[in-house]
Structures are given as structure tokens and as C-alpha cells.
């Protein structure tokens, strides 16, 4: 088997209001057929393969998995839809309807569906991370014209804006020959460099409270933190693990177990190219108040800021991170995605060296990251209250 992964350096952060959701819409359109292949999936499935894709704020990623003897089929299909994608008025209208229904299902008709929108809009004032990859609102997607979609495709879908990785049971010369044959003669485009507005430093705490028909109250805190390529990203990543990675982590031991205020309490990082967010999310147990939960979280964070992290904690969570990272990258498709991601970050060699960077972290690095990130003035909090009787 072989995996063909093609990552385009375009995501929802390359959109401009009010035309949000176009990057995700184009992901759907890339499967609607080209001038030479009416059905992308049908042609790939005939070669024993399968495909899928995803859109993030920073990238749009397409991947195919198929028998290695049919590698050329995947390369032909990918190059053909890059060059000759059918962006007819009818296909655009059809996929707009599909994407709008997906938006309604995931964001309007599902409990907590708008929570991510609320957090992003509160945390970001200038940067286009203000809206998620699916788009800001239904009206934005609906208002996009066929010409808007074609222009976005023209501006961002080019060989000079993509990373191709072939991984699996294939010899290097075969992979290189195939890539050159199907992509080598595609004309280059003059691309506009990505220039996002810098998010101003947050000077004071932000708070938004909403009430919805949901079963539990959720508190989400978002702290600004460095981007994925930053030297201090690893320290923030391990800091989130120290707080919430498993039942031996601090949140579970010191907040969830002793208080009965939470059904869940976790921390995570966004991992975006530009400076991102460090999240703390709390699901409140029945009878718990927001004030009680906030006080417990603040107490635990203050304990960390005062006492720091012990060496055995650091070693434990670094080892857990590395073990999970190795396990997740065992497959050839996962390896292809990771290589493309590291190339987008600016240095594909990080796929081999980042593990050592984690191993070199010190307790002082974690404490420094905590003092830099976990400050009240750097925090945007969304309190998503349940208005169902019996909850607070």
C-alpha cells in the first residue's frame, strides 16, 4: 500500500470577511470531478483506493491510500483536479448547500455547537483565527458567489503552494519519477505571500456569558500562547499535559477527585502556525456553581505558578508525549501527513529532531511558560451556562 498526501498552504485564516468558509467549501468541491475525471472517488475506488480531506485554519490536506502498484492513478487524479477542477455554477451551488447543512448540523443544531465560535471571537480581535474553519456564519457561506470561489481557488491552489508526500511500499526513484511526470510541467503561479494581521497583546481579562439549552455548564478559558514553530511551544504543550493528561495529572488529582465540582477538566493547545491558544475547559457537575469552579481552577494554577513542576512530573509527561507521538506516527499515511506538516512549519527535519527538543525541556522551561501564558490579563473566558432546570 501507499499513501499520497497533498497539503495546500491555505486555510480559513486566508479568508476575508464576509467570505468565510470558502476554504472548507473548496475542500468539498475538489471531489466533484475535473474536466477529465467526472467522479474523483469513483476513479480512485476502481484502483482499490480511498481518499479524504480536512480543512484547518492553516491548511487544507488531501490524502489517498491505495495499492502501491496503482500509485500513478492517485498522482494523475491529484494533478488533474489541481489543473482542471470543474467549478461550474451547478457544482458550486450544490456543495454550498451541503456545507451549509453541515454548518447547521455541527454548529446550530448540536449542543455546544457555537462554543468554538464564541471563544475564537472573544480571544481574537484582529487575526483571522477569529472564526473556525467551517466559517463564521451561514450567511457568509451563502453569500459567496461562484466567482468568489473560483478566485479563491485561483489564488491559492498551485504547485508552489502545496507539499506532496508519498509514503509506503514504494521505491524512491519510482515516487520521484511519478511526481515529476504528473506535477513537473504544471505552470507556476505568482502567489501573494501570506500576511496575517498580528493580534495585539491582550491587556485585560475578557469575559462572555451565554445561556443555552444544554445539559451541563461549561467554562472555557483561552490564553494566548506562541505558535507551533516557536521554541517555547513544546513547554506549553507539556504544561497542558502536566495539568490534565490522565488521572495522575494535577487537575484530576487536585480538582476533579476532591471537589466533586467537575465531570471533566482538561487543558490543551491549539498548535496553530501563528500564535495560538492555550485552553482550559471545565464541565461542571450538577449543583456546582461557576464561582466555585473558577476558584478551584485559580487555586490550582496559582499552586503551579508558585511551586513549579517537579522533575519526575516533567519526565513522566515528556515520556507520555513521546510514546503517544510515536504510536500515532506508525502508519505510512500518518508519516506522510507529518512530513507535510513539518515542511509547512519551515523545516521538515523537525520530524526527526523535535522529540529531542521535548527531552531537553527543564522544569524552569515549564514554569517560565506558565508565567508567560497563565495570566489573568491574557485570558478570555466563555461561560456557557445550562438553563435547564436543576443546573447552575
Task: Please state, rounded to an integer, the average pLDDT across all residues of the chain.
Answer: 95
311-324 residue pLDDT tens: 999 999 999 999 99
Q: What is the DSSP letter of 264?
A: E
- Establish how many alpha carbons lie within 13 A of residue 292's alpha carbon, considering only the half-sphere containing its beta carbon: 15
CB atoms within 10 A of CB 98: 12
Burial readout 302-321 (b: 16 or more C-beta within 10 A, e: otherwise):
eebeeebbeeebbebbbebb
Average pLDDT of the residues in 223-228: 97
**pLDDT at position 282:** 98
Burial readout 172-202 (b: 16 or more C-beta within 10 A, e: otherwise):
eeebeebbeebbeeeeeeeeeeeeeeebeeb
Whether 2-183 shares its CATH topology with 206-386 is answered yes
**pLDDT at position 17:** 87
**pLDDT at position 390:** 53
Write down the domain spans for the chain: 2-183, 206-386
60-74 residue pLDDT tens: 999 999 999 999 999
**pLDDT at position 192:** 85
Beta partners for residue 224, in sequence order: 277
Burial readout 328-340 (b: 16 or more C-beta within 10 A, e: otherwise):
eeeebbebbbbbb
Average pLDDT of the residues in 113-128: 97
Q: Residue 75 above 60 pLDDT?
A: yes
Residue 141 burial (CB < 10 Å; 0-12/13-18/19+)?
buried
Q: Residue 389 above 70 pLDDT?
A: no
CB atoms within 10 A of CB 350: 18
Q: Which CATH number fits domain 2-183: 3.30.830.10, 3.40.50.1980, 3.40.50.2300, 3.40.50.10860?
A: 3.30.830.10
Average pLDDT of the residues in 176-189: 94
Q: Which fold has domain 206-386?
A: Cytochrome Bc1 Complex; Chain A, domain 1 (3.30.830)
261-279 residue pLDDT tens: 999 999 999 999 999 999 9
Sign of CA dihedral 252, 308, 321, 293: positive
- Cell 492517485: give the residue: 74
131-140 residue pLDDT tens: 999 999 999 9
Amino acid at each position: 500500500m501507499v499513501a499520497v498526501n497533498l497539503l495546500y498552504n491555505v486555510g480559513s485564516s486566508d479568508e476575508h470577511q464576509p467570505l468565510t468558509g470558502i476554504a472548507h467549501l473548496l475542500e468539498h468541491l475538489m471531489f466533484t470531478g475535473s474536466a477529465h475525471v467526472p467522479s474523483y472517488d469513483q476513479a480512485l475506488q476502481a484502483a482499490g483506493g480511498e481518499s479524504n480531506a480536512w480543512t484547518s485554519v492553516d491548511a487544507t490536506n488531501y490524502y489517498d491510500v491505495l495499492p502501491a502498484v496503482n500509485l500513478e492513478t492517485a498522482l494523475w487524479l491529484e494533478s488533474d483536479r489541481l489543473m482542471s477542477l470543474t467549478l461550474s455554477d451547478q457544482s458550486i451551488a450544490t456543495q454550498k448547500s451541503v456545507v451549509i447543512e453541515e454548518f447547521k448540523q455541527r454548529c446550530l443544531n448540536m449542543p455546544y455547537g457555537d462554543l468554538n465560535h464564541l471563544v475564537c471571537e472573544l480571544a481574537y480581535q484582529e487575526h483571522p483565527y477569529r472564526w473556525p474553519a467551517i466559517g463564521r456564519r451561514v450567511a457568509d457561506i451563502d453569500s459567496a458567489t461562484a466567482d468568489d470561489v473560483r478566485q479563491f481557488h485561483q489564488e491559492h491552489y498551485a504547485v508552489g503552494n502545496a507539499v506532496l508526500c508519498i509514503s509506503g511500499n514504494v521505491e524512491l526513484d519510482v515516487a520521484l519519477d511519478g511526481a515529476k511526470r504528473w506535477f513537473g510541467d504544471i505552470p507556476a503561479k505568482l502567489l501573494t505571500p501570506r500576511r496575517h494581521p498580528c493580534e495585539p497583546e491582550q491587556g485585560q481579562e475578557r469575559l462572555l456569558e451565554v445561556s443555552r439549552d444544554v445539559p451541563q455548564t461549561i467554562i472555557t478559558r483561552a490564553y494566548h500562547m506562541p505558535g507551533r514553530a516557536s521554541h517555547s511551544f513544546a513547554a506549553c504543550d507539556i504544561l497542558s499535559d502536566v495539568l490534565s493528561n490522565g488521572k495522575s495529572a494535577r487537575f484530576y488529582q487536585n480538582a476533579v477527585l476532591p471537589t466533586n465540582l467537575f465531570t471533566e477538566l482538561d487543558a490543551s493547545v491549539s498548535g496553530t502556525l501563528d500564535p495560538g491558544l492555550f485552553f482550559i475547559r471545565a464541565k461542571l457537575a450538577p449543583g456546582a456553581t461557576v464561582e466555585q469552579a473558577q476558584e478551584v481552577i485559580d487555586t490550582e494554577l496559582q499552586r503551579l505558578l508558585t511551586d513549579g513542576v517537579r522533575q519526575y512530573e516533567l519526565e513522566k509527561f515528556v515520556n507520555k508525549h513521546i510514546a503517544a507521538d510515536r504510536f500515532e506516527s506508525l502508519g505510512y499515511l500518518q508519516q506522510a501527513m507529518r512530513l507535510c506538516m513539518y515542511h509547512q512549519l519551515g523545516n521538515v527535519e523537525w520530524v526527526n529532531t523535535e522529540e529531542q527538543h521535548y527531552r531537553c525541556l527543564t522544569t524552569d522551561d515549564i514554569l517560565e511558560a506558565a508565567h508567560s501564558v497563565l495570566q489573568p490579563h491574557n485570558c478570555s473566558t466563555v461561560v456557557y451556562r445550562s438553563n435547564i432546570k436543576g443546573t447552575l
